[in-house]
Structure 1
Amino acid sequence: MSVRFRLLGELEAHVGGRPVEIRRPRQRGLLSALLTDVNKVVPADVLAERIWGEQLPVNPRNALYSYVSRLRTALGEATVTQRSGGYLLAADAEAVDLHVFLRLLGEAAATGDDREKARLLDRALALWAGEPFAGLDTPWFANLRGALENRRLGAQLDLADLRLRGDRAGELIPELAALAEAHPLDERLRGQLMLALARAGRPGDALREFDRVRRLLAEELGTDPGSALRQVHERILHGDPGRDPAAARPVPQQLPAAPASFVGRAELLAALDHAGAAAGPVAISGPGGIGKTSLALHWAAGKLAEFPDGQLYVNLRGFDPAAESLPVSVAVRGFLHALGVDGAAVPAEPDAQLALYRSLLAGKRVLVVLDNAADTGQVAPLLPGSPACRVLVTSRHRLGGLVATHGARPISLDVLSAGEARELLGRHLGEDRLTAEAATVDELVRLCAGLPLALGIVAARAVTSPELPLRLLAEELRDHAARLDGLDTGEAGLSLRTVFSWSLRHLTPGASALFGLLAPAPGPDIGLPAAAALAGVPSGEARKVLRALENAHLVTRTASGRYRMHDLVRLYASEEAERTLPESARQDALRRVTDFYLQTSWHADHVLEPLAQPIRIAPPRAGVEPQRFAGHADALRWFTEEHACLTAASELAAERGRHTEVWQQVWLLNEFRARQGLLFEREAGARLALAAAERLGDVPAQLIAHRIFASARIFAGHPEAALETLPAALALAERSGDRLQEAHLRYVLAGAWEYHSADYQAERDQCERILGLIEPADDPRLYVKTLDMIGFCHFQWDDRPGARKWLSRAATVAGEHHDIAGEAHALGNLGFVALRDGEWATAINLLERCVGVLRGIGNIRRGAFFLVALGDCYRAAGRPDDARRALHQALDFYRSSPEDSHTKEVETALLALDGCSVPGVLP
């Protein structure tokens, strides 16, 4: 079915030859937003921003889905399709007037034949029937509308230039006069009107037009006409309104050659394409060696036809190790010479030079590449005044000032993917060599960590030494201490150390110090409060320093607000720390940050387990300010975000022999790990804690470590290991007279009997002994769990009255002591009893309450267990959709968890429910 769309005027859509009426503004916005990127996937969040701007609905994705459904109905189901993360409108680009317009402009720019160029421009301009995107007022549509109108004006002026060369210039006067009224400050347009008037025998009107624009420029902008307009004025004064000598000016072609080995970056190249739809520069930022200049030049090489008036390039040397940044005055003089201005004609005053530069670019379509900028101050004066020009800026700084004051679109580079890195090596070395040493190539890719400069250095060394096997290069880079030595070609600028050092030159002493301290900090990244503890400064000061490091691209701030270093940058930072910071300063920083993790873990664990008796830890060290938490969700979020760092901190403490810190950190992580089903981490931590406690000779610590270890082994599917180790731990507890620890160990032993051989009598016996050791006030959580376990034993014996009695007692005691987790668990087990009795409504009510509480406190492991029962209840009650939802939620957890023994059970339940294959499961 044929479709045609109009965007250059009132929105129109024709499907199968008939018009389709689309009345709602948001619906029109959706169609227009998809058509501007026809045949491309537009991410859902990008679409929402285009359609609603800052006035997003409460649930943009749902609203978007609703609008897409209506649009499909109007246009035909196959036209708009949902793809991963977004939507795509499939149509022939030639059926969309906007894309035909842009194609015709590109063809006109590429041809050298004036007659053909005029024909193409005429066709392009004939497509316009009014204001594009009328009634759509979000910032994105406003910017796009402005950019398109600038392209239209540029085409009109190009066409006027061509027609002024003929002998019927007077026919252009009405059109040029109307355009001049609409664009009164456009000097190129005014010059064309003056020439048309003069060539039509009206030189007096032409001179009066010059006086009019001169006064207007002075009143509105406080400037004089530019040199090009003044030259037109001079020629008319001297009676020579002939062909404009500006047409003979050279077209600058200053771009360096695009890198032949460029790979990947498809999303970034697309982002550069999209950025061209709006006015303002594009700021490409990233760390040294990431490929900023390569991206800019590669993109520009494919867009030369869009800039028929030339390309300007300058290296601003913002991070040059051997010279100062290039002065703006030097850069602009170079541009003026490239634009054909004779040296003697260059004004002496810097402001006059910049004004002449902007005048020469007025109305022109020129690409300006400002490479390696130091800061916004170096870039801003070199921005053309003409919206028809495009500007690409590259810098190691983020240039936030350029974004804020000049509307720059920021594009930030990250490392190459493994596939792209391998492709880059292949461009240099050839596929034969890569195939012959495939395993080594994979290792080289990993050691270079996706950094294009590092990969290029490795490739250069391999190419210049073809007799050198790649495995020897890999061995050199494998040595952590010597890796940066291996990433050095011996030439200036082709050493990672040198490149990274250029960024350090611009840092304050405080930023340089934190840069070095971040390298040995435990974990893959760091949060602001931990960084403040590492530096021993308040959070506000740490934030300023981290922002400086981020702006220099020496650290990256993640979407969650954490700070991360590239592997090779971290290696360089470690070297810098050893070179510039005393050993004592580095060790003090590590003690502060690990103490921060310990202190904050204590507060977070107390929020998760408020009824548990907290362990005693030393007061915070000087310079450490622990975090506090408002509730379960807050504490869980912190544990989740910091888990990798907390694990690394306990391992670091073990390496340094800080045994008390080891077992305490492991214990404070235990409840979180248990709730999240992190069994391997829980077991590994318990081994560290047990070794540390034994070295200390600390009996309570040993008993706690035995509890964690035995419990982790049980849930990892090895209850026999718990049965082997627990008797010795119990004997130690009895000898020490620690009744509470003994009770805890017996609870773990009871669970071991259940998981080992389903020996519920042995399990019940241990529970009875626990009740003889403690009272509810001693440890409410343990007491409730014990009652709950006894009730579960009765359930397994099919003694449902007995199960109800014990489980109800557990729920009551839990309620009396505000143990929400224990109460939820008891209610869930009562739901099992009701399910077995066929009391579907009661079972659903109990299990829904249970699952809601457990998920609310982050106990997703136990929540998944009860979700399976809830799914059974829904199915039995004739609610298949609810059953499917509950079972899929449980399956998501079990598929991602080491404790996956329930996976097959849930898959089987879904198969029985659906009568077909489960997604991702072979029947």
Structure 2
Amino acid sequence: MRFRLLGELDARVGDQPVEIRRPRLRGLLTALLTDLNKVVPADVLADRIWGEQLPVNPRNALYSYVSRLRTALGETTLVQRSGGYLLTADPDAVDLHVFLRLLGEAAATGDDREKAVLLDRALAQWGGEPFAGLDTPWFAGLRETLESRRLGAQLDLADIRLRGDRAGELVPELTALAEAHPLDERLRGQLMRALARAGRQGDALREFDRMRRLLAEELGTDPGTELRQVHERILHGDPGPGPRTPVPQQLPAAPASFVGRAELLAALDRAGEAAGPVVISAIGGAGGIGKTSLALHWAAGKLAAFPDGQLYVNLRGFDPVAEPLPVSVAVRGFLHALGVDGSAVPPDPDAQLALYRSLLAGKRVLVVLDNAAGTGQVVPLLPGSPTCRVLVTSRHRLGGLVATHGARPLSLDVLSAQEARELLERHLGRDRLAAETATVDELVRLCAGLPLALGIVAARAVTSPELPLDLLAEELRDHAARLDGLDTGEAGLSLRTVFSWSRRHLTPEASALFGLLALAPGPDIGLPAAAALAGVPLAAARKVLRALADAHLVTRTASGRYRMHDLVRLYASEEAERTLPEAARDDALRRVTDFYLHTSWHGNHVLGPAGTSFRIAPPLPGTGSRRFAGQPEALAWFGTEHACLTATTELAVKHGWLTEVWQLAALMNEFRSRQGLLPERETAARLALAAAEQLGEVTAQLIAHRLFASASIFAGRPEVALESLPRALALAEECGDRVQQAHLHYVLAGAWEYHSANYHAEREQCEHILRLIEPEDDPRLYVKALDLIGFCHIQWGEPAQARHWLERAAAVARAHHDLDGEAHAIGNLGYVSLRGGDWSTAIEHFEWAVEAMRTTGNLRHANFFLVALGDCYRATGRQEDARRVLTEALDRYRTHPEGVRFQELEACLLALDG
């Protein structure tokens, strides 16, 4: 039997065609052929064939179609297995599998001539659009993926031919492809090179100008680095083959004092020589045992074996205060190292991983994945090419990686006594060790062969040459061990004792800050917060932090923040509790809490024209705070410090600092709302309400009730707001606080909308707001009320009234420099135009609103308007633009799902695919 899927479906038994006319039957055959010789579960087949339009009884319907297909193909070809169906055939009899096999063979060869032949044969499998007439989401996605693979093969083949003597002959073919894919920069660069090689430099430069205009008009971006380099070379008369792909060299320096591990190094060599799809050495062991040192030392001696580069990432799997590095962050770093411009990185995480694997296909690259949390963090980052090698280090054994991917596990033990002596000799010199042989033997025994402990001992001896080794040994013997859980179980080994050597030689100021840093909230700390923690000016804090970094007690990250190693932090927290009075510790934590509180206050004022509706107490002495030049700077600070601000709120709860609890929650509310951090917003609101009720302060209670009611609405529980807010309103009316009353009416308006789509009740609440306050009282709230009234008129189908209120909202927002409020009103005006069929005006409004909200950091509402913008693009025939913005919206909803909007987006994408 033979089957053709890459074009019009064709099935043949011998030379006789098999008649398969019904679309569902064709869909069943195609769905089985894509997973040829594999059991496909029945529910998977049903989803592929019918999508969301499932019949009443999918399994019965599927069984009926299977029976018909079995009759057409033969009883032995299609059989039922447990839970699914199996179609058996030779993969070389199916053009789809031949295409994919040839692409894999082409990626694996380094010979241009052989690769060109394989790519030619792969592309010859295509006869037209695959799966025509099959338009379920699964078929649409598969069709798009295959078309992308086909284009990639065409471009790979063009790259090879451009290196030949007849590159100019490619101009017609590349011109046609560029017309079909006008925004593909790689393709445009190939066309420019072909034109230049054909002596048409002027046409090549005009292609660049055309591309630059297209990118500016369609995407609002400039050409990427590679296309600009092609342009530069053509300007200088060089029609060369194009920019060389960057060769990443990301490996950190190998440790100079590495010793021993001969058997493990040999095992790594053997693993590298073994056959298989990918060689993975999962190097496991306890913290401080030398996993990373082994990996880097081996890799440093194998650079020639990986001419296409080395990739490295610390996955932070066992950082006690920071989350493991997300796979999406790691793969973006790899893509940048491989030469992919930020603008060219796909927004979809799966597409990023696919691009990463495509870039490594056929290359000899070493990938080092350091400090992995588990198999799930590693598997997505494995290359698909058999030419790549992977080293993984982890404190876990990674049994799943061994079982599923054939990883070669290597376990590290402590150094032998001879190796430990050799390590100390590397640091201290043979003469110094020979002078105190007995003491050296004792140091080796007390360190129990742990490389980290031996390294710290050596560093202490080198930096204090006047200190006798006997004194170091005495300190090890006498210092009590408390980090029992981090001992190896060997007598005399205590990391706490080793760490104490570095601390004892600090200045009093550095020693005090060392302990306080371990108590500070959050996974890391910035310089201003550290200064507040210590109660000293920035310059003094910077000097102390530099001393701690020089002593390897803290690490300064690339972003300029400070982080402690997990073992160091455990030790430092114990020392702080032992050496610093409780009052000193509490004062320090009060100061750093004050820093976060006052800086959040200033940041909140920058985000909105009205700032906050409450006052905060003056900061404690020695507490500074940051000021911000504009919204982007404030948003960046909130984003960087979000984990620390969350931890500070929890710290305030723990210590019973009730005022700080509700005020921090209130000051973070606007940022979290704009960013779509709804679960974090709800958690903070719960803490704020509990703190406010315990305090009994009226303003605190009113604000906390408002925060909790609003968070409950977006958590899908608007009835909570409807039940609780009337009591809060009565309290606000009793104390005569008009602004708080207005805020509560606004939340009630939203509650009526989300509870029962009662837009009349929603408008009534907004009219209360307009009677209670003037724009000068709270311009942001006033604008929101006007905007919401306009929104109600949109729902009632009253465009003239909606436009009146929304234009008024935009004008008030503009007068009070409320860019976010203006953007929301303009975006809603886009809905008015959309419903009236004025697509061009709607697009103009939506594009402006989305761009403005990106500036204000309101990604959540920007996403709402992105969906509407995609609908407008689709309706006006701008399919690529629609796909671009809807994919961007989908990517955000995957991270921050929001039910109704997500369903709207899915419907819009289905319509686009249809």
TM interval, short-chain normalised: 0.5 to 0.7
Work out whether residues 425 and 456 of structure 1, in 8 Å CA contact, stay in contact via their aligned partners in 2. Answer: no
1:241-263 per-residue CA deviation (whole Å, 9 max, x = no partner) reads xxxxxxxxxxxxx9843165689
Distance apart, 1:552 and its partner CA = 3.2
Work out whether residues 663 and 689 of structure 1, in 8 Å CA contact, stay in contact via their aligned partners in 2. Answer: yes
Task: Name the structure 2 match of 1:51.
Answer: none
Task: Name the structure 2 match of 1:485.
Answer: 484
Distance apart, 1:294 and its partner CA = 4.2
**Aligned runs of 1:624-663 on 2, under 5 Å?**
624-663=623-662
**Aligned runs of 1:189-268 on 2, under 5 Å?**
256-258=259-261, 260=263
Distance apart, 1:455 and its partner CA = 14
Rounded to whole Å, the distance in 2 between the matches of 1:670 and 1:717 is: 18
Cα gap change, 1:547 to 1:3, in 2 (>3 Å): same
Q: Kindly, what percent of the aligned residue pairs are identical?
A: 61
Work out whether residues 370 and 394 of structure 2, in 8 Å CA contact, stay in contact via their aligned partners in 1. Answer: no
Rounded to whole Å, the distance in 2 between the matches of 1:498 and 1:530 is: 29
Rounded to whole Å, the distance in 2 between the matches of 1:288 and 1:742 is: 58
Cα gap change, 1:727 to 1:18, in 2 (>3 Å): closer
Task: Name the structure 2 match of 1:825.
Answer: 824
Rounded to whole Å, the distance in 1 between the matches of 2:258 and 2:525 is: 40
Task: Name the structure 1 match of 2:843.
Answer: 844
Structure 1: segments with no counterpart, 5+ residues: 6-13, 31-58, 89-139, 141-253, 270-286, 306-411, 433-440, 442-452, 459-480, 916-923
- SS state of the match for residue 224, structure 2? helix
Distance apart, 1:69 and its partner CA = 11
**Aligned runs of 1:380-399 on 2, under 5 Å?**
none
- SS state of the match for residue 641, structure 1? helix
Work out whether residues 481 and 497 of structure 2, in 8 Å CA contact, stay in contact via their aligned partners in 1. Answer: no
Rounded to whole Å, the distance in 1 between the matches of 2:746 and 2:720 is: 15
Rounded to whole Å, the distance in 2 between the matches of 1:691 and 1:678 is: 21
Residue of structure 1 aligned with 2:225, choices 53, 60, 63: 63
Rounded to whole Å, the distance in 2 between the matches of 1:15 and 1:699 is: 74
The one-letter amino acid of 1:907's match is: E
Rounded to whole Å, the distance in 1 between the matches of 2:668 and 2:822 is: 23
- SS state of the match for residue 901, structure 1? helix
Work out whether residues 660 and 692 of structure 1, in 8 Å CA contact, stay in contact via their aligned partners in 2. Answer: yes
Matched, 1:608 2:770: no
Work out whether residues 503 and 552 of structure 1, in 8 Å CA contact, stay in contact via their aligned partners in 2. Answer: yes
Matched, 1:782 2:781: yes
Distance apart, 1:845 and its partner CA = 1.6
Rounded to whole Å, the distance in 2 between the matches of 1:625 and 1:721 is: 39
Task: Name the structure 2 match of 1:857.
Answer: 856
Task: Name the structure 1 match of 2:570.
Answer: 571
Cα gap change, 1:423 to 1:882, in 2 (>3 Å): closer
Distance apart, 1:828 and its partner CA = 1.1
Task: Name the structure 2 match of 1:866.
Answer: 865
Task: Name the structure 2 match of 1:760.
Answer: 759
**Aligned runs of 1:375-524 on 2, under 5 Å?**
415=371, 417-418=373-374, 426=397, 484-489=483-488, 491=490, 494-505=493-504, 507-524=506-523
Task: Name the structure 1 match of 2:884.
Answer: 885
Work out whether residues 373 and 394 of structure 2, in 8 Å CA contact, stay in contact via their aligned partners in 1. Answer: no
Cα gap change, 1:482 to 1:796, in 2 (>3 Å): farther
Work out whether residues 887 and 906 of structure 1, in 8 Å CA contact, stay in contact via their aligned partners in 2. Answer: yes
The one-letter amino acid of 1:849's match is: W
Work out whether residues 457 and 487 of structure 1, in 8 Å CA contact, stay in contact via their aligned partners in 2. Answer: no
Rounded to whole Å, the distance in 2 between the matches of 1:487 and 1:804 is: 67
Cα gap change, 1:701 to 1:501, in 2 (>3 Å): same
Distance apart, 1:556 and its partner CA = 2.4
Work out whether residues 259 and 294 of structure 1, in 8 Å CA contact, stay in contact via their aligned partners in 2. Answer: no
Rounded to whole Å, the distance in 2 between the matches of 1:868 and 1:427 is: 41
Task: Name the structure 2 match of 1:688.
Answer: 687
Cα gap change, 1:712 to 1:18, in 2 (>3 Å): closer
Rounded to whole Å, the distance in 2 between the matches of 1:625 and 1:265 is: 53
Rounded to whole Å, the distance in 1 between the matches of 2:851 and 2:715 is: 26
1:57-94 per-residue CA deviation (whole Å, 9 max, x = no partner) reads xx9992236668999x99999x99x8xxx679xxxxxx
CA RMSD of aligned residues (A): 4.6
- SS state of the match for residue 525, structure 1? coil
Rounded to whole Å, the distance in 1 between the matches of 2:297 and 2:705 is: 61
1:181-202 per-residue CA deviation (whole Å, 9 max, x = no partner) reads xxxxxxxxxxxxxxxxxxxxxx
Distance apart, 1:502 and its partner CA = 4.2
Distance apart, 1:879 and its partner CA = 2.1
Number of aligned positions between the proteins? 540
The one-letter amino acid of 1:658's match is: W
Rounded to whole Å, the distance in 1 between the matches of 2:668 and 2:447 is: 38
The one-letter amino acid of 2:690's match is: A
Cα gap change, 1:18 to 1:709, in 2 (>3 Å): closer
The one-letter amino acid of 1:655's match is: K
1:359-394 per-residue CA deviation (whole Å, 9 max, x = no partner) reads xxxxxxxxxxxxxxxxxxxxxxxxxxxxxxxxxxxx
Task: Name the structure 2 match of 1:183.
Answer: none
Rounded to whole Å, the distance in 1 between the matches of 2:767 and 2:267 is: 66
Give the TM-score of the pair, scaled to structure 1: 0.52
- SS state of the match for residue 521, structure 2? coil
Rounded to whole Å, the distance in 2 between the matches of 1:733 and 1:862 is: 29
Cα gap change, 1:900 to 1:482, in 2 (>3 Å): farther
The one-letter amino acid of 2:661's match is: V
Rounded to whole Å, the distance in 2 between the matches of 1:893 and 1:548 is: 42
Cα gap change, 1:260 to 1:741, in 2 (>3 Å): farther
- SS state of the match for residue 497, structure 1? helix
Distance apart, 1:822 and its partner CA = 1.9
Rounded to whole Å, the distance in 2 between the matches of 1:15 and 1:860 is: 43
Rounded to whole Å, the distance in 2 between the matches of 1:265 and 1:791 is: 68
Matched, 1:536 2:548: no
Cα gap change, 1:900 to 1:528, in 2 (>3 Å): farther
Distance apart, 1:763 and its partner CA = 1.0
Rounded to whole Å, the distance in 2 between the matches of 1:415 and 1:731 is: 56
Work out whether residues 533 and 589 of structure 1, in 8 Å CA contact, stay in contact via their aligned partners in 2. Answer: yes
Work out whether residues 162 and 241 of structure 2, in 8 Å CA contact, stay in contact via their aligned partners in 1. Answer: no
Work out whether residues 290 and 413 of structure 1, in 8 Å CA contact, stay in contact via their aligned partners in 2. Answer: no
The one-letter amino acid of 2:780's match is: R
Cα gap change, 1:708 to 1:865, in 2 (>3 Å): same
Distance apart, 1:539 and its partner CA = 1.3
Distance apart, 1:532 and its partner CA = 0.9
1:692-725 per-residue CA deviation (whole Å, 9 max, x = no partner) reads 1111111111110111111111112221221122
Rounded to whole Å, the distance in 2 between the matches of 1:18 and 1:886 is: 36
Cα gap change, 1:304 to 1:866, in 2 (>3 Å): closer
Work out whether residues 894 and 900 of structure 1, in 8 Å CA contact, stay in contact via their aligned partners in 2. Answer: no
- SS state of the match for residue 900, structure 2? coil
**Aligned runs of 1:694-773 on 2, under 5 Å?**
694-773=693-772
Cα gap change, 1:687 to 1:63, in 2 (>3 Å): same
1:258-290 per-residue CA deviation (whole Å, 9 max, x = no partner) reads 165689999xx9xxxxxxxxxxxxxxxxx9655
Cα gap change, 1:504 to 1:767, in 2 (>3 Å): same
